[in-house]
Amino acid sequence: MPPPTAHAFWITGPEQAEIIEQELPLPSGEEILARALYSGISRGTEVLVYRNRVPVSEYARMRCPFQEGAFPAPVKYGYCWVGAVEEGADSLLGATVFALYPHQDRAVFPAAAAVPVPATVPAGRAVLAANMETALNALWDGQVQAGDRVCVLGAGVVGLMLAHLASRIPAVRCMIVDPDAGKAAAAAALGLAFCIAPPDDLFDVVFHASGNPAGLATALAVADFEATVVEASWYGVTPVTLPLGEGFHAKRLTLRSSQVGSVSPRQRARVSHRQRLEMALALLADDRLDGLITGESGFAELPDVMARLSDGSLPALCHRIRY
């Protein structure tokens, strides 16, 4: 009998991709075989990988857990995967699970890497788990407290989730800003105050999640005295210039990076990576978050979808892939 096969999405060169058939190993005693239901495209990071914009210095740090190949290409990359367990650990048989796995129709991986999706979260919404985990970690990095004035610059998926989480803290006044007026509907669905330009107000905590270097300069400008600015964007090889000769020193600002690869120092002694992901999945039990998924395509269309996301002809918050 020939070995089982799977079909996987590979980036084969700068702005080139295809779906490739590959051999699938048989699961060992500590592994599961799962069939994909959905995967999500983490637009900011995956488009940078697709464009070959990962700095050489970050090749090792940017590896995702089940990546195959190496940067810049060919590489199998992705981490928003939801599937149904067909073989393996009895405790997981038939379960819907989330895994930090690339886009692939069937997969074999350790049972320990499969996180059950709560019954309160539909499988199609669970593709947002990695984005929610990023937003949760950034919220911890920002150390938002009750009564803070919070501004989020950039109404992408992570920015909207950040504002959503911050606004649930008692007495927090939260504003989300994005020059694209088309993002207003997604913000309104989450009950968020939205502006296309920064207001005249100043803020105690500012999150920058636009991916545009100019937005970080804006974040410094709207930060109040001794405020914290959390940089949640990732630029790849794009250089960033900041006006640090203006109010940065006089206002005694704190500029803090946030990156999901490490649990925030505020929680690291108490929360493991898996526990953080479990929290993120539980936080998806809110029907309003479905508004962050603004498109869906079949798996066979993924090479074309990635090209359109890259060139801007397909506007989307989270684009979901259906298997």
User: Do 62 and 78 meet the contact criterion of CB atoms below 8 Å apart?
Assistant: no
Q: What are the tens digits of pLDDT across the range 271-308?
A: 999 999 999 999 999 999 999 999 999 999 999 999 99
Say if residue 74 is preceded by a cis peptide, omega within 30 of 0. Answer: yes
Both 159 and 42 in one domain: the answer is: no
Averaged over 65-73, what is the pLDDT?
A: 97
- H helix or E strand, kind and range, residue 297: strand 293-298
Both 10 and 101 in one domain: the answer is: yes
Q: Is residue 272 part of a domain?
A: no
CATH of the domain at 178: 3.40.50.720
Both 99 and 211 in one domain: the answer is: no
Averaged over 113-127, what is the pLDDT?
A: 98
- The two tokens of residue 16 are 């080139």
Q: Residue 2 has what pLDDT? A: 66
Both 298 and 238 in one domain: the answer is: no
Cα-based distances in Å from 202 to 144, 279, 299: 15, 31, 45
Q: Residue 43 has what pLDDT? A: 87
Q: Is residue 268 part of a domain?
A: no
Q: What are the tens digits of pLDDT across the range 149-182?
A: 999 999 999 999 999 999 999 999 999 999 999 9
- The residue length of the chain stands at 323
Both 102 and 21 in one domain: the answer is: yes
Both 17 and 74 in one domain: the answer is: yes
Q: Residue 263 has what pLDDT? A: 97
The whole domain housing 142 covers 131-257
Q: Is residue 267 part of a domain?
A: no
- H helix or E strand, kind and range, residue 36: strand 31-41
Both 253 and 135 in one domain: the answer is: yes
